[in-house]
């Protein structure tokens, strides 16, 4: 399952407010045992979001037609 930035935001909000139950944007909810479990899950989520962002950037192509320089 790939996580999204909204999942990361929901987890950060839960950690910041001190609750252990997180409800995500798609309706899923999870109750974590402790803060360490939440922080571990948050790191995994951040990694998935970063991988998705890198994959999107890597798949884009650039075409450079020519370069214009200034003569001195």
pLDDT tens digit sequence for 42-58: 999 999 999 988 876 66
- Classify residue 11 as left (phi > 0), alpha (psi -120 to 50) or beta: alpha
- Give the tokens for residue 2: 């790939």
Quick check: 5 and 12 in contact, CB under 8 A?
Answer: no
For residues 6-34, give the mean pLDDT.
94
Quote the CA–CA distance of 12 and 14 in Å, as a whole number.
Answer: 5
| Cβ–Cβ < 8 Å for 15, 7 | no
pLDDT at position 57 is: 67
| Adjacent-strand bridge partners of 31 | 21
pTM of the model: 0.72
């Amino acid at each position: 399952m790939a996580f999204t930035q909204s999942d990361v935001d929901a987890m950060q909000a839960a950690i910041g407010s001190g609750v252990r139950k997180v409800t995500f944007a798609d309706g899923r909810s999870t109750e974590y045992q402790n803060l360490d479990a939440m922080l571990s899950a948050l790191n995994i989520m951040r990694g998935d979001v970063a991988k998705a962002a890198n994959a999107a950037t890597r798949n884009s192509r650039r075409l450079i037609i020519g370069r214009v320089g200034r003569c001195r």
